[in-house]
Amino acid sequence: MKRLLSALVLAATAASASDTPVLEAEIPGEVLALTPAHIAGAAVKTNDGGPQLYFMLTAPAGRAFAKLTGKAVGEPLTLRICGQTLATAIIRTPIESGAVVVPVPDIPKGEHFADILRGRTGC
């Protein structure tokens, strides 16, 4: 059974879309679930390799992500938005910057994912 590393859901007086986890980072046996409140920024950019989703985690979320990836060097990390797998990759070193870049199929899909991470639209 997967152990929830951290939901990092901020305390709020009323539930809102920003309280619902939209991003999951999973290593074998652990999942880090993050809400839009844990995303400092998100954008889609195109380079020679195609469109990519760039997002930056807040400092607390970045520390939790660094801890998670530090435990899993040599293991797979799967990133999901709203349950949809974006990418799975083998972690070579802990990701301590809080910055993540993931290829996306096309710009409209990437913009949709960025809007979800920003809390502008739901799953």
The tens digit of pLDDT for each residue in 6-55 reads 443 333 323 445 689 999 999 999 999 999 999 999 999 998 889 999 99
Percent of the chain with pLDDT over 70: 85
Domain ranges of the chain: 3-118
Which contiguous run of DSSP H or E holds residue 71?
A: helix 59-71
Specify the CATH architecture of the domain 3-118. Answer: 2-Layer Sandwich (3.30)
**Amino acid residing at 71:** K
The predicted structure's pLDDT at residue 18: 65
Q: What is the mean pLDDT of the chain?
A: 88
| Integer Cα distance of 110 and 45 in angstroms | 9
| Integer Cα distance of 118 and 61 in angstroms | 14
- How, if at all, do strands 99-103 and 50-57 pair? antiparallel
| Integer Cα distance of 111 and 104 in angstroms | 9
